[in-house]
Amino acid sequence: MSRDRANPLDYSRKTWMRLSMGFTFVFLYFPIVSLVAFSFNDSKRNITWQGFTLRYYEKAFDNAQLHEAFLNSLIIAGISTTVSTILGAMLGLALYRFRFPAQGPYEGMVHLPIVIPEICMAVAMVAFFATVNMPLGLTTITVSHIAFSIPFVAVVLRARMAGFDHALEEASYDLGATQWQTFWNITFPYMKPGVLAGALLAFTLSLDDFVITFFTSGPGSTTFPIKIYSMVRFSVTPEVNAASTVLIVITLALTMVALIIQSRSQGNPHG
Amino acid sequence: MADNNSIISIRDVVKRFGSTVVAVNNVTLDIRRGEFFALLGPSGCGKTTLLRMLAGFESPSEGQVLIDGDDMDGVEPNKRPVNMVFQSYAVFPHMTVHQNVAYGLKVTGTPRAEIDDKVDEALSLVQLETMARRKPDQLSGGQRQRVALARALVKKPKVLLLDEPLSALDAKLREQMQIELVHLQKSVGITFVIVTHDQNEALSMADRIAVMEQGDVLQVAPPSELYEYPNCRFVADFIGKMNLFDGRVTGVRDGKVVIHVEAIADQVAELALPHDEKASGEVGIAVRPEKIRLSVEEPGDQPLRLKVKVTELVYYGNESHVFLETTSGARFAANLKNESRDTHSGIVSGEEVWVSWRPEDTLVLTA
């Protein structure tokens, strides 16, 4: 009689492993779930559950200031994503492709904005804009967002290119294609999932950035996260929860799109 | 200078990487129109670099490459009348087989109507007509290689360059592809230049082989000449197996060179060998394992005979490899064909036997 026992490496069947996985899951998602749940709470104070309502969603949608902040966020995210994706993709490709003097240090410096505290980056940005006499506003926020998004896009693309067979480009060139044709017909199709993932990363980073945006914003350039913050300072109403939930839904939707596109391109072994 | 017969002329080509690494060292080579030419050598010998200079991916540090009489200096890979089959095949993963083969025609502006016909023709050449709609990930390794072949051949190049084309295939498929490649080459009539480290591949496919080592071309010859008459120790040792001894020329007698070989001097005082060149000084004496005969009785009619002990006998079914040693420590290897079930019954590990070989089968290597 053989009993169905867990194999030594069958961690998923061990009780302590299941418990810790369950705890981690609750720890990660309980705040988010409660945030979403309380956005439907029919209570002004939003401390105890009073009943279900969609009132605060209506209120949030009717809030002109919130509208404007959301629109600002979309404009900033849209522009900074476009610019940082193009620049970051070019940078990632260059780092993969070319060997040049001091490449190691250069690559390290490029990645620095990912590592250094956001607050330092924010202060540096403000100091920079003061030096060049640039009034704080939507432009400065956008420029800052571009600056901190580029390394993320570059890193994602660099990782993508690590699996690229350089012989594909040589084959294209050998078959009579120009460098330009080779790039658009061979290299770019391979880069595409990386470019897309980088763009979505840049978009979400820009959309929910607080620290740098807070420092570099000026009058009339309130973004969505900053607006929510200022609302919270008055009182935590379900309206704040509703607005946050909308932001979560948008981010989730974009991530889903990215995953779907990526899984489609994985139809081939190189994808 | 380049005669009309050669499609590729490599003139005094040197390729340096950085200031210290010399990948190709002053190579001069002519590849004839319509031949199947192999560049053979161990890894790092410069054969791939040489091939890449033909394709245009590397440019020579010195010297000249002519393709069909035209100097290729400064001519980009996409403008050269050659095409390449890459070691990794480099089949475009996001295109179908048909799109892969059509690619080279499309980017150079071939009319649409012509493309389909040419692609179909190329695909039938490599027997892939039924696979045209497939993506590369739905193909086997051998089929992917055929796509790479068709993709290059559809461009009707003057020379097809193949970089280790069979190294990624399993042994059975490799043998089959060797035969197919030779047939394909003969039927399309295009010059093939193949790079390989596998001597069997080179010997079985090529019309002529250039053996390379450390950037130098050591010998250029047809396979049988390369095997039977290697011109130096490296080629003798690299192609097939070889029994090699150090010898010294002591004189000439009756039109034969007389050579003293220290390792076997206790049994054979001197070797009188037919050799055309004026050999002198230190030479290498070489004989192939399959040209060595083994017998239990002393072969009295053979001038070159030694008493040896069998140290090892490795059985391969169709043949056996026998390793032998004289009392003075000279080692021999011999190959025995197992022509019938009871041949070589007296040859047993640990027993003493006689080895002998014909003087005519002995090589005198002066380099």
Backbone angle region of B79, left / alpha / beta, with phi > 0 → left and psi within -120 to 50 → alpha? alpha
Mutate to test the interface with A, among B48, B106, B107 (most CBs of A within 10 A): B107
Question: Do residue B103 and residue A271 have CB atoms under 8 angstroms apart?
Answer: no
pLDDT of B20 strictly over 90: no
A183 reaches B (C-beta below 8 A): no
B299 reaches A (C-beta below 8 A): no
pLDDT of A270 strictly over 50: no
User: Residue A266 has what pLDDT?
Assistant: 55
Contacts A267 to B, Cβ<8 Å: 135, 137
Nearest-CA distance A249 → chain B (Å)? 33
Mean pLDDT, range B45-67, rounded to an integer: 94
Q: Please, what is the end-to-end C-alpha distance for chain A in angstroms?
A: 47
User: By the 8 A CB rule, do A88 and A153 touch?
Assistant: yes
How many alpha carbons lie under 13 Å from residue B50 in its C-beta half-sphere?
A: 36
Give the distance, in angstroms, between the CA of residue A24 and the centroid of all CA atoms in the same chain: 22
Question: Do residue B107 and residue A168 have CB atoms under 8 angstroms apart?
Answer: no
pLDDT of A83 strictly over 70: yes
Q: What is the ipTM of this complex?
A: 0.85
pLDDT of B58 strictly over 70: yes
User: By the 8 A CB rule, do B238 and B211 touch?
Assistant: yes
Reduce the DSSP state of residue B36 to 3 states and report it: strand
Nearest-CA distance A263 → chain B (Å)? 14
Residue A187: name the closest of A95, A258, A100, A93 by CA.
A93
- What is the tens place of the pLDDT at every residue in B176-212? 889 999 999 999 999 999 999 999 999 999 999 999 9
Taking the C-alpha atoms of residue B227 and residue A158, their distance in angstroms, rounded to an integer, is 49
B123 reaches A (C-beta below 8 A): no
Pair of tokens at residue B267: 């049994």
Closest residue, chain A, to B136 (C-alpha): A268
Rg (CA), chain B: 25
Reduce the DSSP state of residue A268 to 3 states and report it: coil
Question: Do residue B103 and residue A185 have CB atoms under 8 angstroms apart?
Answer: yes
Taking the C-alpha atoms of residue A262 and residue A200, their distance in angstroms, rounded to an integer, is 12
User: By the 8 A CB rule, do B273 and B362 touch?
Assistant: yes
Residue B68: name the closest of B155, B6, B15 by CA.
B6
Mean pLDDT, range B32-54, rounded to an integer: 94
A165 reaches B (C-beta below 8 A): yes
Beta strands in B52-207 (DSSP E): 62-67, 70-71, 82-85, 159-163, 191-196
Nearest-CA distance A199 → chain B (Å)? 22
Residue A171: name the closest of B95, B166, B125, B44 by CA.
B95
- What is the tens place of the pLDDT at every residue in B256-314? 888 888 888 888 878 888 876 667 788 889 999 999 998 888 888 888 889 999 999 99
Nearest-CA distance B66 → chain A (Å)? 17
Instruction: Please provide the DSSP assignment of B43-90 as one string.
Output: TTSSHHHHHHHHHTSS--SEEEEEETTEE-TT--GGGSSEEEE-TT--
Pair of tokens at residue B330: 């000279």
Edge-to-edge strands, sheet with B21-32: B21-32, B6-17, B62-67, B70-71
Closest residue, chain B, to A190 (C-alpha): B94
